[in-house]
Amino acid sequence: HAKSEGRGRFRFFSEEMNHKILHRVALENALRQGLERGEFFLHYQPQWDLRTNRMVGAEVLLRWQSADFGLMLPSEFISLTEDSGLILGIGEWVLRSACQQARLWARQGHPEFRVAVNVSSKQLKQQDFVAMLNQVILETGVDPKSLELEFTESVIMENAERTIETLEALKDMGVQLSIDDFGTGYSSLNYLKHFPVDRIKIDRSFVADVSRSTDDAAIVEAIITMAQSLSLKVLAEGVENSDQLHHLSQLGCDEVQGFYLAMPMPADALEGSLGREHGRRVGKHEVTE
């Protein structure tokens, strides 16, 4: 009866696989329609300068209010958009929307405020990415200095030579560049000098234990020291409590971002605090409209 059991198990797995494939297809179709239906929207998570205590920028985070699946976070759909190529259209929409928003904030008296957009490897590898971005900048009238593009370490290491050329073209346009989730990939700190980046974002896994683990504190300190010698800014992400904030400040970290200071929020919710000094954190829960 081992045989029949095996067959049963096979049928079970195949049904499960079937279900997964169907779910994927449905999700992909919903994503495809999401752009046309206007189901995507953006949240902005403030970033603070630790020296001046001012809000100096915000990271742009994609949200999807799907008619079929409800509210979806990037972890549930970004990789599918990358596999299917949908990330190109969605990514362009994110860039255009973020640039429009930055332009609006500049008009409202905050020309220095920066918006940081996550860029996927598929986008960076796209032949006409630089031309597309140039077009978006011209159309929206945004000052390129107030736009920052975030790439992960692995993206940058994947195809180092071509990537450097693309990054240099982006720098020539005047945009700022940062390396996201720094410390989780394989690049050596020393390798950073080959890339024309302005800022590194220390991954939140190191920030989590910075006040409890001497190892993590040492790693953060090493990253900050190296960054300073290369004249790069360091932003720590995922700051969730005052202990972490205090330690990062002591270690000489330039900027911070995290739930302790502010949750990701709609653009209008952030407007009142633009350029202001921070007191207490802004907002307890992520507000979704």
**Does residue number 259 form part of the binding site for ligand C2E (CB under 6 A)?**
yes
CA distances from 155 to 80, 87, 119, 121, 187 (A): 17, 15, 9, 5, 11
Q: Which stretch binds Mg ion (CB under 5 A): 85-93, 100-108, 230-238, 271-279?
A: 230-238
Q: How far is the CB of 183 from ligand C2E (least distance, A)?
A: 12
Unique residue bearing structure tokens 């799907």: 66
**42 touches 61 (CB < 8 A):** yes
**Does residue number 73 form part of the binding site for ligand C2E (CB under 6 A)?**
yes
Q: How far is the CB of 134 from ligand C2E (least distance, A)?
A: 19
Q: How far is the CB of 164 from ligand C2E (least distance, A)?
A: 20
Nearest CA to 65 out of 33, 92, 21 is that of 33
Give 18 or 212: the residue with its C-beta nearer to ligand C2E: 212
**Does residue number 180 form part of the binding site for Mg ion (CB under 5 A)?**
yes
Q: Which stretch binds ligand C2E (CB under 6 A): 47-55, 222-230, 235-243, 274-282?
A: 235-243
Among 27, 50, 62, 200, binds ligand C2E (CB under 6 A): 62
Can you tell me the distance from the alpha carbon of 68 to that of 59, in angstroms, rounded to the nearest whole number? 27
Can you tell me the distance from the alpha carbon of 25 to that of 107, in angstroms, rounded to the nearest whole number? 43
Can you tell me the distance from the alpha carbon of 77 to that of 81, in angstroms, rounded to the nearest whole number? 6
Q: How far is the CB of 54 from Mg ion (least distance, A)?
A: 21
Phi, then psi, of 265 in degrees rounded to 5? -150, 165
**Does residue number 153 form part of the binding site for Mg ion (CB under 5 A)?**
no
Bridge partners (DSSP) of residue 65 are 71
**Does residue number 148 form part of the binding site for Mg ion (CB under 5 A)?**
no
Residues that bind ligand C2E (CB under 6 A): 45, 61-62, 73-75, 78, 91, 94, 118, 120, 150, 180-181, 204, 237-240, 258-259, 264
